[in-house]
Structure 1
Amino acid sequence: MFEKLYSPVEKLKIAAFDNLFVKRDDLIDPYISGNKWRKLKYILAKAKAENKNHLVTFGGAYSNHLVATAAAASRSGLKSTAFVRGEKVKNEMLLLCELFGMQLIFTDRVSYKDKSALFEQHFKTDSNACFIDEGGASAEAVIGCSEIIDELTDVYDHIFCAAGTGTTAAGLLKGIVKNDLKTKLHVVPVLKNGFFIKDEISKYISDTENLILHTNYHFGGYAKTTPELFKFIKEFTAHTGLLIDPVYTSKMFYAINDLIQSKTIKPDEKILAIHTGGLLGIFGMMDKF
């Protein structure tokens, strides 16, 4: 299922973004979308090599990672279980998870913090169970995300990505270093106090010379938004035809726009934005549009 890949690079047709291109990882798959496809590729290969047929992972009630894992497991003939943070709820995302055959275990927020303990408590005796961290964060995920750089047929002055765990960014930086590029990697943490993302990236690659963090575009924190951000989403999508989500990609594109307007990035410099998918997350904020 991970052999076919459709992720073209497209130029945005909008005046403010004369030199902006987008790597359309959102087009890879409707459910195993964007960086989720990249992260799960080698995680599933490892599970197969270890003869494990039960994927166990973690996420919130509107987690794109849970949907992606459920879909990937179903297509691969594997079982899947997710510990869902918080009280028991029903929504569009969890419905998709269940339709793909995923078992959901709703977990209070205190217990959820110790994921290893939860896994041990429920699956210690299940030798077929494969632990997958929240968001797919792992060395295997970094390898999968590094392949984004290998696929590029052009050279860019700047590459941008949004970050939650830093796994995708670590993969991109690893790809940049491996290919001996001078490209600057701009990472936009979507959480408050996102400086820790650099430490997370450093766990996988020590050479962070080309890394630039932009920590002022979180709009209040993870999954937090403002009317200004929603206004940007609606105007951006209407002008470009490119759908972006409120949690990740909208904050990245807002940052790019702001850096262009402030002339932090020069007009003649070439920019590539990584569209990491996650568009199903829009359903969690329908009432705000």
Structure 2
Amino acid sequence: MSQHSLIQELREPVAAAHGVRLLLWRDDLANPDLPGNKARKLKYNLVAARQQGHHTLLTFGGAYSNHIAAVATAGRLFGLKTIGLIRGDVPTVGTPLNPTLAQAVADGMALHYLDRTAYRRRAEPGFLAAQLAQFGPAYVLPEGGTNALALPGCAELVAEVRQHVEFDVLAVAVGSGGTLAGLLTGLAGRQHAVGVAALKNGGFLRAEVDALTRQATGEIFSNYSLQTGYHGGGYAKYSVELLAFIEQFRTRHGVLLDPIYTGKLLLGVLDMIENGYFQRGSTVVAIHTGGLQAWAGWEARFGHRM
């Protein structure tokens, strides 16, 4: 996939009316084997795992997690064992796994389940030590793959976009804050970032982003905003409006968005344009971070096919 084909003009009437040039960076196409921002977050973590002599990755996630899917795929591609500690009850014997977990198992991941009380302790040192005592030595990746080593991989995206277009704003969906934090460390001059929170009550994410950039670079950045009004009811919640928008967007642009992150991102960015958030004459690049594996699980849960 040539990088030239990764950037796409979005000819939206609302953008034209407000004098905003809107583009989409197709990070979902950048790496066919491991698409989207998850590959960028994993890049330098995988380097660290190898440098530390690890042969196993251990991580956490929900039953439909893009991160779980990505770590399992990375393990297969790079010859590492993978262990996924999944939030939820052990499936009843004979109950098929959902498509995300079934693919993770096919990629070689060993699944173990944590009840919600145990899962809430996933970042506690004592809890992690107990997991490593049970499962053996492993390189631990946090839920969502977000840590200081995730940032430089995401920062590289900024330079890639800059090779193709001079932009004023990068816009990205926010779940754990790692991708947004990484983008901030790569921006220059008067460039600005917009994060669209995919979960309800997402204001706490600003502190998460600031802590990540401070840990990675020693800096806290002010050239970004966090938009918390486009969560659509909460993480993995959806509305008729959101699903209709995703279908209309695919009809107009030939691009499928996902219902967890990128659908909310583009719906939010277009609403912000309509409300005059971006200066006339500015160039805004929205980042398609992938996550399309979610649709298989979405269909299994809700019966809605895209």
TM-score (norm 1): 0.92
**Structure 2: runs of 5+ lacking an equivalent:** 92-96, 214-218
Misfit runs of 4+, over 6 Å: none
In the other structure, the counterpart of 1:101 is 108
Deviation per residue, 1:158-194 (Å, 9 max, x gap)? 1100001100000001111xxx321111110111111
Counterparts of 1:74 and 1:118 in 2: how far apart (Å)?
A: 27
Counterparts of 1:214 and 1:144 in 2: how far apart (Å)?
A: 23
Counterparts of 2:252 and 2:25 in 1: how far apart (Å)?
A: 18
Counterparts of 2:196 and 2:106 in 1: how far apart (Å)?
A: 33
Indicate the SS of the match to 2:293.
helix
| Residue correspondence of structure 1 range 212-227 to structure 2 within 5 A | 212-227=225-240
Counterparts of 2:251 and 2:269 in 1: how far apart (Å)?
A: 17
**Structure 1: runs of 5+ lacking an equivalent:** none
Shift of the 5–58 alpha-carbon distance from structure 1 to 2, 3 Å rule, reads farther
The match for 2:79 among 73, 77, 80 is 77
In the other structure, the counterpart of 2:272 is 259
CA contact (8 A) 1:188 1:213 kept: yes
Shift of the 125–110 alpha-carbon distance from structure 1 to 2, 3 Å rule, reads closer
Give how far 1:28 is off: 2.3
Give how far 1:285 is off: 2.1
Q: Report which stretch shifted further, 142-151 or 108-117.
A: 108-117
In the other structure, the counterpart of 1:208 is 221
CA contact (8 A) 1:34 1:278 kept: yes
Kindly report the root-mean-square deviation, in angstroms, between the aligned alpha carbons of the 2 structures: 1.9
The match for 1:174 among 170, 185, 198 is 185
The letter of the residue matching 2:74 is A
The match for 1:196 among 204, 208, 217 is 204
Counterparts of 1:96 and 1:174 in 2: how far apart (Å)?
A: 33
Q: Report which stretch shifted further, 69-78 or 113-122.
A: 113-122
Counterparts of 1:128 and 1:88 in 2: how far apart (Å)?
A: 24
The letter of the residue matching 2:197 is P
The letter of the residue matching 1:134 is E
The match for 2:158 among 126, 149, 167 is 149
CA contact (8 A) 1:161 1:274 kept: yes
Give how far 1:122 is off: 3.1
In the other structure, the counterpart of 2:216 is none
The match for 1:137 among 142, 146, 162 is 146
The letter of the residue matching 2:221 is T
Indicate the SS of the match to 2:230.
coil
TM-score (norm 2): 0.87
Give how far 1:208 is off: 2.2
| Residue correspondence of structure 1 range 32-71 to structure 2 within 5 A | 32-71=34-73
The letter of the residue matching 1:55 is L
Give how far 1:87 is off: 1.8
Shift of the 167–5 alpha-carbon distance from structure 1 to 2, 3 Å rule, reads farther
Deviation per residue, 1:91-110 (Å, 9 max, x gap)? 11111100110000011111
Give how far 1:236 is off: 0.9
Counterparts of 1:217 and 1:245 in 2: how far apart (Å)?
A: 14
